[in-house]
Amino acid sequence: MSDDKKEVEIERLSEPLVVVSWGGDKPFKLIGHGFSKKTIDVYVCSNEYGNDVVPKIKVSIDPNATSTDGFLSVIAHAEPGANNDKVFWIAVKLNGTFQDAQEGLKVV
């Protein structure tokens, strides 16, 4: 997907490496643009193309935090047994269509 087609783009994460413990929750922010869209899904995958979703790591939009078009507050949760051998990608979909991904989530 070419960049000019992206309505939602992740420029970076609020931390260089988001570290989440098994069974724990880790709040952080996606920084970029287009986050004020109401139909955004955030998830974890193993590559920059947004496929190969990692089922034991969930990311939800933080209902108690303020978000704007320039950043989105989210919470990562890793189920016990989630893969801790690699650094994963945080990805976003808008209306079910992949938009962008940024590497930077590790389970410990």
Band of residue 2 on the pLDDT scale cut at 50, 70, 90: very low
CB 8 within 8 A of CB 92: yes
> Burial level of 56, CB count in 10 A (0-12/13-18/19+)?
middle
Residues 40-58: pLDDT tens digits? 999 999 999 999 999 999 9
Q: Which structure tokens are listed for 36? A: 């004020």
- Rounded CA gap, 108 and 21, in Å? 5
Q: Are strands 18-20 and 97-107 parallel, antiparallel or unpaired?
A: parallel
Q: What is the mean pLDDT of residues 3-7?
A: 72
5 pLDDT exceeds 80? Answer: no
What pTM did the predictor assign?
A: 0.91
How much is the pLDDT for 4?
Answer: 57
